[in-house]
Structure 1
Amino acid sequence: MNKVRGIRGVLGVAGSVFGAVSAVKSLQTARKDKDRLLLVNAVAGILAAVTGVLLTIRAARKDDK
């Protein structure tokens, strides 16, 4: 069962990284086009990705105890 949790953790981090990459691309587009709404959306996406990684790390630490 521990192996499944490890795989789930890796997939969680991978999903968050993919979301962060997408948000950074949106951020670059928003800055280039000077689109404030897209900029806010990109920042929110980056924050969500960071939060996802932190939650995955916390869950992995709890599993180790």
Structure 2
Amino acid sequence: MRPATTSAPKPGVCEIVSNAGNCYNDGQFCRKADLGRSTHAGNGEWITCVRDGDRYRWDVV
């Protein structure tokens, strides 16, 4: 087993959630209103809402 790390947040701790109340993950679409904002993904990664062509997606930055 791997030792637990204390630097990353626990999965499921998200500052921005979907309309359904779920955490976002890397690659998922984000709302236009969230463009440029960042949050922790469901797995604890730090993601930012970025423009991807004519759409908006959460991306690890």
Normalising by structure 1, we get a TM-score of 0.24
Higher helix fraction: Structure 1 or Structure 2? 1
Report which of the two structures shows the higher radius of gyration computed on alpha carbons.
1
Higher strand fraction: Structure 1 or Structure 2? 2
